[in-house]
Amino acid sequence: MPLTRVLEERSMRRWLLTATLFALAMASAGRADEPDPETHVAALSERHRVAAVTGDTQALDAVLADDWVVVGPTGEVDTKRQQAQQMQDGSLVFEAIEAQEVTVRLHGDTAIVLGRYHIKATRNGRQVDGVFRNTGVFAKQAGAWRCVFNQVTPVAPPAEKR
């Protein structure tokens, strides 16, 4: 094999190796304008909170997965459709949901949002005003993060106040 042919093959191999490494680096790097997953999920959780207070069922539809469910503070279970209906007919009105602390933990394509909130609401004519822990589970579905589950639990007062 002529020397020029050997040098051309080596050059071609180097070029292919460089192109392959570049492609792999770009694929794993993600887009520069995409926020990190924790920031993105935290922003979605905040959109969920704001949409609940403003009664914006369209914004909730964008954040919540179609099969989303919530377990409320008394153990009731509502679906996305049920909660949207309650918000539209006025049987569920959030007057305020004030975040006191919120953390996001990632586990692959799943994220857990744990927060402490002061919630003022009216549900079926009954006033709710208290501090609650909310656990939100977000999952990456078809490349997009959506909330798939929430659990709302009342925070008990300190032992000396009971």
- Residues 41-89 have pLDDT tens digits of 999 999 999 999 999 999 999 999 999 999 999 899 999 999 999 999 9
Phi and psi torsions of 31, nearest 5°: -85, 145
Edge-to-edge strand ranges of the sheet holding 144-154: 77-79, 64-71, 144-154, 126-141, 110-123, 92-107
Q: Does the predicted model carry a pTM greater than 0.85?
A: no
Quote the pLDDT of residue 81.
97
CATH of domain 37-161: 3.10.450.50
Q: What is the mean pLDDT of residues 109-138?
A: 97
